[in-house]
Chains A and B, each alone.
Chain A
Amino acid sequence: MSSEEHPSDGAGDEQHSGENFPLMQEEQRKVRTKLQKNEGIGWDGQSLRGQFEDIEEKTDQTGHYAGFEKLSLKDENPIEYEQMFAQLRGELVNARETSKEVAATPIVEQEGELCYGLFTPEGDSIAISTGIIVHIHTMSEAIKYMINHDYEESPGIEPGDIFVNNDTHVGNVHPCDIATLIPIFHDGELIAWAGGVNHVIDTGAVGPGSMNVSQASRFGDGAHYTARKIGEDFEIYNSWKNDFPDKTRTPDFLKLDERTRMTGCLMIRNAVNDLIDDYGIEKFKQLSREAIEDGRRGFRSRIQKTMLPGTYRGASFVDALYEGQDNLSRPYASENHLMHAPSELHVREDGSFQVSFEGANKWGWHPYNCTPAAIQGGIWVMLTQTVIPNKLVNDGAYYSCDFHLPEGSWANTQNTETAHAYAWHFLVSAWAPLWQHLSRGYFSRGFREEINSGNANTSNWLQGGGIDQFGKLHAVNSFEAACEGTGARYVEDGEPHAAAIWNPEGDSGDAEVWEMTEPLPFLGRNVKPNTGGAGRRTGGAGFESMRTVKDVSRWLLYEMGNGYMSSDSGLFGGYPAASGYILNAKDTDLKERFENGEDYPQSDLDPESGEFESNVEADITRRPEGISTPKEFDEYDMYLNYLRGGSGLGDPLEREPEKVVEDIHDGYVLPRHAEDAYAVVVNQVDTEAKHNSAVQGEWELDEEATEKLRAERMKERAEKAKPVSEWLENERVRIQEEDLIEDVKKTYESSMRMSKQFTDFYRTFWDLSDDFRFSLSEDAEKSLENRFKTGMKKKWKNPTKSHETWLGVGRDDEPEVPYTWTSERSIQDLSGPSLSFDQAPRAQATDDD
């Protein structure tokens, strides 16, 4: 242990004030002495911004992080290097595992929605814990924001300071992930930052829950804390203590969340001090730079070893249907949105990545918009799970990836009016093709064990709130969504009900624990059939929970997820996972059924079976959409929470027939789909046996009939399928005649107005006229016009040269917008707010919700 006492946040506790942090006080004296001499808190008296710019310049000039062309510590003493890194990594994991016991929310304690990082003074991650590590990069951005906005001068960065951030445009995915950051000093120099993030239950959005869906803009997203200093001397300011609890419906939980993060950060600070005691400050500094350069090189060497250079492409979509939704904060938000994410990965000859979203459509008045930090952090967390699971996991990988995120698109709004409460809806959907890019590379290199078809759409989100069973204002945010089916692997089926992509340690949590914090008793929890995509390897199945409502008043609930679109594709002939739907029941007779000991619905395993309806008298709502805005729920009303499956891989007709029988007995496939989807004939031989709650009876394979059916199915394919050239001709006519629904046409138009490249590509592909455009309804036209004219309101006022990493991502010898689009390929031509309209704007939306 270091020379200091065991850490404590000291909040509101006089005895901890100062006395227990002698090292901090000593560091404060050294820092203040330097400041009096007009020296900065960087190394060798540099200002922090100066040091940051110096690192950027050296990285830019040498092509190596911070100019580290040699890894002298690693080369000269590799064992010591590994020991130091392993010690840091271990202490970060220890901080997470220990501090999560401080929290009271199942979100942290059960799901582990918490992570920690150790960062360089400039904000690059050196080492990370486990958990929701997407936030390693978002915290990195928050630190860089503070440096770029001269926090060194005001409000100052000193030993004992505490900062929070949850502002998406500074460095976050959405406001419900709150970060705590503390600087770590040695001999008057800032040597590192410790940071921790957790997902909180409620941030005071216009509706209850952490990720409300009824707001049109930032002003309904909840409280934003923009990289704010909230304490010094490791003592939280009274102003903060009296501020944030009133900005949430769940203040007690958030207070404990804050103590959780402080506990972890102080443990990390102690660990760094211990490491310096053991190895000396110079070695620590060396390690902090070398580990990132090592991570950067590790990423590239891994890519060169496991993939192929070249260009990989895909596209993904997801729906957010708001037309006619109730309780929207603004009337102009009542429209349907479809996300369009063209995804292109160029693997360069040096193993680095160029990732482009050129052609992405415009942001919208919905809470699913993204910032660069969200996209970059999201893709980074995905890469850590597939490309570099065994390497040094830090910002080195980030330094091997260039991102092109068109400004003004949903992927990079550059507008502080936009809402981001559930950015993951678009983010998770948009990176689905990236799995497949990697998998195609792995396939070509023969690394079949690494191939994965994708990830689930990580929904539904059960959220809401009101007056709970204890008579208190409360909000709920079930994190059962941390447990989803995974995509099929080449060598095995996907994992059923396993984890969400954003939290590799995700879990469904114990029903009993959820019931302690949510007045929503479980009526049943089951594996849900046909949720995983069909294929030679099936996608992992999702699951469902049937909940009711008890002992509440003024209670609201809502749904969140995909409905009209599958956001994840199958691979190599596998099918996408099933999409979502909504099932609610109101004015039920559950109370009477309980009292009389009668059957009641515990599941909705087969929506076509009528079983749910036959077991309850109620006003039942079934809708194929995935999103609803907050709706009132009363005692004994019912709510289906359906968690999605993963996508499939390979031709389903190549699936071993015996496995399909196993799938039926395991509850993954409904018997009728054995024949339809897999051409496998099964016969029920026993009606009594019960393998699981989805299937009654024992089923047997009819091998002969299956063989015959599969042969017939191949013939049917030959008869039914047509040459693509023939189909293309018909499709071209369809597009010329604009035989598409309004929502689809609006999406294409939005992408075209965002991107000259996409426009030219689209027209060229379909051989359309040079002036082809989709004609839109007056409402759709007005909507697009409004959003384009709203323009940009950037958060970063004074960024360092290399911060805007989504711009100028190409090298001098390659097109900046890579290889998909056939036209001029210059991102300088991307449409800004003024490029797409010749005429005067209509009245633009106001943002007063």
Chain B
Amino acid sequence: MPESYPREIIEDLVDDNLEWDQLHNMMSDFKDADRFQQVRDVLQERVDWDDPIVIPYADHLYVVAKPGDQWIIKCDCGHEFCEHDENWKHDALINVRDTEQEYLEIYPEDMHPHPDYMELREYFCPGCKTLLEVNNVMPGYPIIHEFEPDIETFYTDWIDEPIPSPDSQSV
């Protein structure tokens, strides 16, 4: 059983170039042990900045290492949000769909939530204006902080590698 996929397969995965049968095989086959490192390396090549990627955080977002042992959340457009354990949404732009008219842009009549009961919060990157997350919540709900990764445990105990830093990166 091979332990890893060829680099070109991982590049195709990241670049959305795999055919369905290849993806299906990936789903039902073994989970390659070096996937994280391979994907991280491909992503590092794809972004236009040099900060070392610590982890891919969400679609378009990364935790990157900055000088001074700082890890921040950064968009692939280059916009930098906040420390890795803070909620990036607080530094985002927001649009709230909370009227029937706004719902009807996305859904047919009667097939959308009632605006008094649920609103759609759309969070955009202030840099590239990409829609990064949509939360459907009751009006008045606190902003949800979806993910606080335990980066130290991951690198130290799970993959046994040093955490990338600006000093260690070979560009």
- State the A residues within 8 Å of B (CB): 302, 304-306, 308-315, 317, 319, 338, 340, 347, 349, 389-390, 436, 440, 443-450, 490-492, 529-531, 534, 563-566, 569-576, 578-581, 606-608, 622-624, 649-654, 670, 673, 676-677, 714, 717-718, 720-725, 727-728, 731, 734-735, 740-741, 743-744, 747-748, 761-762, 765-766, 819
Contacts and interface: CB of A to CB of B under 8 A. Distances in A.
Contacts of B153: 309-310, 349
Contacts of A308: 55, 149-151, 154
Interface residue tally on B, bucketed by range: 35 or more
Contacts of A606: 108
Contacts of B40: 446
13 contacts: A308-B150, A309-B153, A310-B148, A313-B144, A444-B55, A565-B113, A573-B134, A575-B120, A676-B105, A724-B91, A724-B92, A727-B94, A819-B148
A594 B146 CA distance: 55
Given A565-B114, A573-B133, A444 B149 contact: yes
Nearest to A319: B117
Given A449-B13, A724-B92, A741-B116, A317 B138 contact: yes
A449 B59 contact: no
B58 A440 contact: yes
Contact of B90 (A340, A563, A725): A725
B150 to A, nearest CB: 4
Contacts of B89: 724
B59 A673 contact: no
Interface of B: 10, 13-14, 16, 18, 20, 23, 26-28, 31, 33, 35-36, 38-40, 55-60, 89-96, 104-114, 116-118, 120, 122-124, 126, 129-151, 153-154, 157-158
Contacts of A304: 158
B117 A310 contact: no
Shortest beta-carbon contacts, A-B, top 9: A446-B39, A572-B59, A721-B93, A581-B110, A564-B114, A578-B111, A573-B131, A765-B142, A651-B131
A570 B136 CA distance: 8
A533 to B, nearest CB: 9
A349 B108 contact: no
A446 B146 contact: no
A735 B114 CA distance: 19
A310 B40 CA distance: 19
A565 B120 CA distance: 11
A721 B95 contact: yes
B111 A309 contact: no
B147 A312 contact: yes
Given A314-B146, A573-B132, A743-B117, 9 more contacts: A317-B137, A444-B56, A446-B38, A566-B118, A566-B136, A652-B131, A721-B129, A724-B92, A740-B139
Given A447-B31, A653-B131, A748-B140, A607 B56 contact: no
A581 B111 contact: yes
A525 B138 CA distance: 33
Contacts of B110: 581, 607, 622-624
A718 B127 CA distance: 9
Given A309-B149, A608-B109, A819-B148, A564 B117 contact: yes
Nearest to A819: B148
A491 B148 contact: no
A259 to B, nearest CB: 36
A717 B140 contact: no
A734 B120 CA distance: 17
Nearest to B43: A446
Contacts of B91: 724
Given A309-B158, A572-B59, A744 B138 contact: yes
A389 B90 CA distance: 37
Contact of A572 (B58, B157, B158): B58
B137 A311 contact: no
A542 B133 CA distance: 23
B23 A492 contact: yes
